Structure 1
Amino acid sequence: MGTAKKIVLIIGIIAIALVLFSAINYFNKPTNEESLNVVVADNNVQQGSSHPYAVKVIYDGFWYSKAGEPSTLQEQSTQGRHTFDLDCAAWDKVYVLVEKNDDSTENMTVQLLKNGEVVAENSTTNAGGQITINYQS
């Protein structure tokens, strides 16, 4: 086999190897969700979240809410106890307004959760009462 054929053969093998390594790297890349995972000292994997905030309303009556990042508030009107996720990033300022839509003097509690932990909480027993929470970590 001539020198030119050997060089072409070696270049071909290198090209095939590069294509294989590129394909392996592409298909084994973590997704954005997987790349947010955190491994802590005890080797437990903590799932990260791109939307870590949620609002928990503890009240059996009728209520209305506006919540989220101040320029893009989510609104809802419902009855009973609910927890709902907010479309906010961890660094966003969060605004929550919940008001009773009835004349009940029963206690209404509103909690702002970040990654499942309560970071702000307020309550009212006023008929038609409102709770406002402004939070930024």
Structure 2
Amino acid sequence: MNDTATALRTVVVEREFPYPPEKLWRALTQPHLIEAWLMKNDFVPQPGHHFNFTAEWGAVNCEVREVEPQRTLSYTWSAHGLESVVTWTLEATGKGTHLRMEQAGFRPDQEQAYQGAKFGWQRFFNSLEELAAKEFA
């Protein structure tokens, strides 16, 4: 059954970084680095680990789903009625790493959350770029 009225939407952000996958992997999996570009957290890159992102506006409850070092990281993202999954994919390129973030699971009635994620992930990627330039250059 393909009912477009109930189709879930996905936010995708992709960017090329001039650093090898192992460096970006650190930024995605080490709590002090995650805090520097995303939010405070108690992340551990272990499937089944429950963790939280916290900010002034509240918290995001998460659970690690998949960890393939330097290739794939996936976790649930649950906040303010949004039940979604964030998946990071790292692909080595001749010039560094192609990083892809996909947040899937936005219902049609979650337009504000969807638009907020589209805007927010662009900002987070900019912060990740700034962090990488300082940490990995």
TM over 0.5: no
Q: If the length of structure 1 is used for normalisation, what is the TM-score?
A: 0.30
Kindly indicate whether structure 1 or structure 2 has the higher relative contact order, using CA contacts under 8 Å at least 6 residues apart: 2
Bigger fraction of residues in helix: 2
